[in-house]
A = this chain, B = another copy of it.
């Protein structure tokens, strides 16, 4: 930190226990078992590959130690990045690393240190303690078992991408039938199945429903009869599908325009299921996390989880019908690009049910966090700002990612609130606590 005030604020913010409102943690295996789990995180495999590493070392057959060596061997090419800084933080905080820079020469020492550290029987507990982590949200498939873990620490969250975008796949419909006992064949059975999912998740302590959405998605309400025909078409009779969904006509009929739909039963089902999810969020009083803007599999030959990019030309105006139709549902919104932050600020300033949520993926680096956070703090009520989530796959990432965020937050509070004498230091820390903790508790009812 560059100055005393920021340092003091940073220390104070670090003392606040965290509730992390979005991650991909597996509650059965929440911590890393080897350094391979850390460096296998797609942020590292992507950057190593982008900087010239072949995908050879990423194959299953490669020994973990060799894979780690390969990635560390390329790290010198991206030691300028924020992602590299996270890794150095992990090495320092969890592996006793004391050097200035991590290089390939550290492979064995770090790998072995990780083996020792991660093998400790109370490692999970240690990570929780070091990270001052109180609870962390999961990302659960609709048919995930929600047993075998403490749901007050690992908070279930119903992730719904597959329901909305992949109901054309027989495998998904089967899994849905297995999970609910309902064979989905029309709008009514679909509603029944979804109700059962929500009921189970709610009973198990779920605090949110969530989904990631492509940039061209535009939720609109479609008639039950349309949804009915679309599901029937998907689920079975392809002749009917052709007959019902042929041509521009259909897409126009469902929303008055063809732009949001692919003139296909799947598009209609996507719209129908999405709307139905919002209705269940209302009924079960769950916030609906929308993560807006990702295109899947853009780099087809990319590494695992390193294939997704985006089209920045998207707008929250597409969600106007949704926000208007569900005033009782809170929508924590993540946007993929900083360019969309001003819309997020303005929509949150106007709509009571729209709130900004963290800094997602390609926007999760200090340059964008600083800018987006600064804008949000100037124009959105502080009670509506969910500051950050880790998006972590392993618990060891919670600490370095939150540290990055807290550094930016501390500097922003120093520059924008304390130095201009708008807030005292105590008030600034209280504002930080709102973003880091209080709002998570209030919005999600934790």
Contact = CB atoms under 8 A, between A and B. Distances in A.
Interface in A368-422: 368, 371, 374-375, 377-384, 417, 419-420, 422
Interface string A302-326: 1000110111111111001001100
Interface string A39-83: 000000011011110000000000000000000000001111111
B349 A50 contact: yes
A301 interface: yes
A343 interface: yes
Contacts of A316: 309
Nearest to A300: B324
A253 interface: no
B339 A324 contact: no
Query: Which of A342, A380, A383 has the most chain B CB atoms closer than 10 A to its own CB?
Result: A342
A103 interface: no
A345 interface: yes
Contacts of A183: none
Nearest to A49: B352
Nearest to A3: B419
A298 B320 contact: yes
A327 B299 CA distance: 10
Interface stretch (A150-158, A268-276, A359-367): A359-367
A378 B365 contact: yes
A350 interface: yes
Contact of A381 (B47, B299, B315): B47
Contact of A299 (B311, B345, B350, B374): B350
A288 interface: no
Contact of A310 (B81, B312, B346, B371): B346
A98 to B, nearest CB: 14
A355 B384 CA distance: 36
Contacts of A374: 367
Contacts of A302: 350-351
A295 interface: yes
B317 A81 contact: no
A180 interface: no
A299 B324 contact: yes
Contacts of A2: 419-420
A107 interface: no
B324 A315 contact: no
B312 A315 contact: yes
Contacts of A300: 324
A80 B315 contact: no
A81 B342 contact: no
A299 B300 CA distance: 39
A378 B81 CA distance: 4
A343 B49 contact: no
Nearest to A422: B85
Contacts of A357: none
A194 interface: no
Contacts of A79: 382
Nearest to A78: B381
A309 B50 contact: no
A431 interface: yes
A337 interface: yes
Given A52-B383, A80-B431, A309-B350, 15 more contacts: A1-B420, A46-B349, A46-B350, A51-B352, A52-B352, A80-B378, A82-B379, A85-B422, A299-B320, A301-B327, A306-B350, A312-B339, A312-B340, A337-B342, A367-B375
13 contacts: A1-B420, A47-B381, A52-B352, A77-B382, A82-B379, A307-B350, A311-B317, A312-B342, A313-B315, A339-B339, A342-B363, A367-B375, A368-B375
6 smallest beta-carbon distances between A and B, as pairs: A51-B381, A78-B381, A311-B317, A80-B382, A77-B383, A365-B378
